[in-house]
């Protein structure tokens, strides 16, 4: 079943930068490109969210991914993500600042007996110098819209017990504490 994307309301002009986050869509292929202003003092930073599709774009994610997943090996990054995209319904929504990859959400469509048809957010990370600009919240909002348009039952993620900053973002974004994730390492 093809993945549905948010409808394209057309290109809207950006009004004077007020206190609200402004966004607009430009239809491009099977996923939209979203432009929005980050939460900065003067609201003059314009960011772009788009779905990462090419090996080059995946490679550009590396610096952000390394912050969250330092155990990964750079030479295995692109092939691993390409395989996940082909076999596991995985996708990456990336935030770009003038072509520079600054934040991403790595997600997958999946079905579980517990929560039904969901999008699971595997990874959500922002470069240090871009934190506090609302990028993670915007990524979650974008992924939530993709989930709604694809008739998913929920958006699900896990976070570290000690990651209070991320927990605040998730709770403000409408997530609720619903389960305790346990793991047993085999290697």
Distance CA 167, CA 177 (A): 10
- Position 3 scores a pLDDT of 52
What pLDDT score does 182 carry?
86
* pLDDT per position as a tens digit, 130-178: 999 899 999 999 999 999 989 999 999 999 889 999 999 999 999 999 8
CA distance 88 to 117: 14
Give the residue carrying structure tokens 């085999």: 186
pLDDT digits (tens, 9 = 90+) for 34-50: 555 444 444 457 888 98
**What are the structural domains, with CATH classification, of the chain?**
23-31+40-172 (3.40.630.30)
């Amino acid at each position: 079943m093809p993945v549905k994307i948010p409808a394209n309301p057309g290109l809207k002009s950006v009004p004077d930068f007020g206190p609200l986050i402004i966004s607009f869509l430009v239809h491009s292929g099977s996923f939209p490109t979203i432009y929005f202003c980050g939460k900065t003092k003067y609201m003059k930073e314009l960011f772009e969210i788009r779905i990462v599709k090419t090996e080059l774009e995946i490679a550009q994610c590396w610096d952000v991914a390394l912050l969250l997943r330092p155990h990964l090996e750079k030479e295995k990054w692109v092939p691993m993500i390409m395989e996940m995209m082909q076999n596991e319904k995985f996708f990456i929504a990336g935030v770009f600042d003038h072509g520079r990859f600054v934040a991403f959400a790595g997600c997958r469509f999946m079905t579980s007996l517990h929560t039904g048809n969901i999008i699971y957010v595997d990874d959500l990370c922002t470069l240090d110098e871009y934190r506090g600009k609302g990028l993670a919240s915007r990524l979650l909002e974008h992924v939530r819209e993709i989930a709604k348009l694809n008739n998913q039952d929920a958006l699900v993620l896990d976070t570290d017990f000690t990651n209070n900053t991320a927990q605040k973002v998730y709770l403000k974004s409408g997530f609720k504490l619903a389960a305790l994730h346990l793991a047993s390492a085999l290697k």
